[in-house]
Structure 1
Amino acid sequence: MEELEKFDQELFVSLNSQHNPFWDTVMILVSDKYVWIPFYVLLIAYVIYRYRRQSIPMLAMSVVAIGLADFIASGILKPFFARLRPCYEPDLEGLVNIVHGCGGQFGFMSSHASTAFALAVFFNLILSDRYFIFKVVLVAWAVIVSYSRIYLGVHYPGDIVGGALLGSMLAFASSIGYRYILLYYPSLKKDPVI
């Protein structure tokens, strides 16, 4: 476990050390949840427009996945593991580029990664292959948001991987719930189907 933690720290220092003023600004924006509000609004509007009644369980189960991802990562796992963020780690003092504040004391798991992957994986699982480009865009978005947390100095790569796995598992469970809802309420499928 110590070797894994050491590798995680070394990988973090390597990734976090790649900085310039332009990317500092970009990564601050990418990491800001409020910047993405127009993206979320467009996504919701498109889903409602395209799927009509079917959008109700679709959006509800995506909210379940995202909400659980955030709650479990921040409310349960961070206090349980109590792993210091790299920006608070005494062993890394002077090695971390802290671009825009440090956040809470503990970092494992990343709630940014867990919620972004919950959203991206959920829609990847429920949408048909004809939405391939949209699926790729969602995963790329989740990866970029997650990477921004390393760049800004607030999460180790392990925090990101853990958060991504948590979000993906919850997305998988929510996608099963979504399919059961459609199975038990077939009237929802009278609108355009996936």
Structure 2
Amino acid sequence: MAGVLSEDHLSMSDIPAAAQEKEELWKYRAPYQVQKDHEFGSVKWRGKCHCGRVQYQLKRENPLAAKFCHCRACQVLHGAPFQWCAIFPKTDMCFSRGIESLKFYSSHSMTLGYQLPCKVYCSYCNTPIMDEGRNMCLIFPELIEISPEEGEHKRRRDVFDVDCHIFYSRRILDVLDGKPKWSGLDGKSNQLDDHGRAMES
């Protein structure tokens, strides 16, 4: 299948009838659609789940944005004080292994099954793989593989360095990093200091 089908350019004639009947249309869209190496392009990063059954690659070096999210859902679903995420267009990501091992969860409806937006996990080891929206994927930089070479760890940290904190008003702990902090969504809520105090506008 030539090219990558986006949400807006998916033609039913491109999809086998069996997949349509099983409502597996997502397999024929980015980032799940199988692509040959020359179709996808040069790989900048590779990531995988804990057990290795699910693996993906990225052809963009730098994310569009990176954030720490302190909302309650991220705290519960990640079992951590906050979530570290990096935003990439779906077409810049491609699964190289394990789409049959994926499972989907909607935190809005609290149901399993593929519906956007959704959270994507490895069904075997339960590693969170990404959050998928209509056009973007929020990947988790902890899954990015790095070589043991000196400087690789720092390179990953630098490339995925966060732009800001969101939902900081719901934080479990203070993060004294001097990064911009928002009480809710960035640019759409009040800005806070490192200790959660409202900043003067």
Greater relative contact order (CA < 8 Å, ≥ 6 in sequence): 1
Structure 1 or 2: larger helix share?
Answer: 1
Tell me if both proteins adopt one fold, taking TM over 0.5 as the criterion. no
Structure 1 or 2: larger strand share?
Answer: 2
TM-score range, shorter chain: under 0.3
What TM-score do you get using the length of structure 2 for normalisation? 0.26
What TM-score do you get using the length of structure 1 for normalisation? 0.27
